[in-house]
């Protein structure tokens, strides 16, 4: 009986950890371009790191007043810094964005 109780407690502990750990699967986030220029590049990195590691749009761009889905990298965390580059050359950063939270990330000037 004692072994059964210990086994059940261990099972509950493993289930609790699994439920609180974010998924490692790639996910998509909705973005919207509310600026006057086309969004031609969207990059991501882990917060407070130096290099912009991930290109999220590939060869695509997001026109003025348009939305798109961006593929986030698979990873254990939800927070990413984002850098949007527009066709006129200006850039906009959004820091520590929670990409696991439902909703749309809007870029505007």
Give me the pLDDT at residue 17, please.
41
Q: What is the pLDDT of residue 75?
A: 76
Q: What is the 3-state secondary structure (H, E, C) of 63-108?
A: CCCCEEEEEECCCCCCEEEEEEEECCCCEEEEEEEECCCCCEEEEC
Residue 59 structure tokens: 């060869």
For residue 61, give both structure tokens. Answer: 């761009």
Q: What's the pLDDT tens digit per position in 26-82?
A: 789 999 999 999 999 999 999 989 999 899 999 999 999 999 999 888 777 899 999
Task: Quickly name the fold that domain 25-107 has.
Answer: Immunoglobulin-like (2.60.40)
CB 40 within 8 A of CB 86: yes
| Residue 109 confidence (pLDDT) | 77
Half-sphere exposure of 17 (CA within 13 A, CB side): 6
What pTM, to 2 d.p., does this model score?
Answer: 0.75
Q: What token pair was written down for 54?
A: 């991930």
Residues 6+ apart with CB under 8 A from 12: none
């Amino acid at each position: 009986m004692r072994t059964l109780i210990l086994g059940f407690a261990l099972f509950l502990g493993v289930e609790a950890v699994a439920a609180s750990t974010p998924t490692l699967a790639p996910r998509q986030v909705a973005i919207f371009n509310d600026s006057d220029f086309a969004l031609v590049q969207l990059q991501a990195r882990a917060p407070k790191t130096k290099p912009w590691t991930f290109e999220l749009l590939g060869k695509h761009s997001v026109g003025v007043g348009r939305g798109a889905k961006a593929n986030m990298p698979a990873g254990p965390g939800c927070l990413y810094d984002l850098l949007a580059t527009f066709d006129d050359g200006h850039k906009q950063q959004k820091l520590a964005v929670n990409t696991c939270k439902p909703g749309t990330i809007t870029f505007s000037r």
